[in-house]
Amino acid sequence: EVFQESMEYECQFFNGSERVRMLTRYIYNREQFTHFDSDVGLFVADTPLGVPQAEYFNSQEDVLERKRAAVDTFCRHNYEVSNPFIVERK
């Protein structure tokens, strides 16, 4: 039997990088069970399997701070690095 766990990161940009939303999806056997939404600022359980994980991560202030900061350190940073190449390709 094979079990698969994965994470997907998604950065959504509105009006350039003026407004940025980051989603981190936690997936087990092709089913999203928890996600972090920077607009909410917390982990959200999507299934009963995700409830304990969301509760645990939401109780860890250092984890929440890092995830909230990732909008700038991950999304905006990568936007600034990638933007010149994307604009030139148009």
Q: What pLDDT digit, counting tens, does each position of 30-88 carry?
A: 999 999 999 999 999 999 999 999 999 999 999 999 999 999 999 988 888 888 787 66
pTM given for the model: 0.82
Per-residue pLDDT at 14: 87
Token pair for 90: 């148009």
Residues in the chain: 90
- Residue 11's nearest CA partner among 84, 89, 72, 83 is 72
Asked: is 5-89 a CATH 2.60.120.10 domain? The reply is no
Buried b (16+ CB within 10 A) or exposed e, 22-57: bebbbbbeeeebbbbebeeeebebbeeebeeebeeb
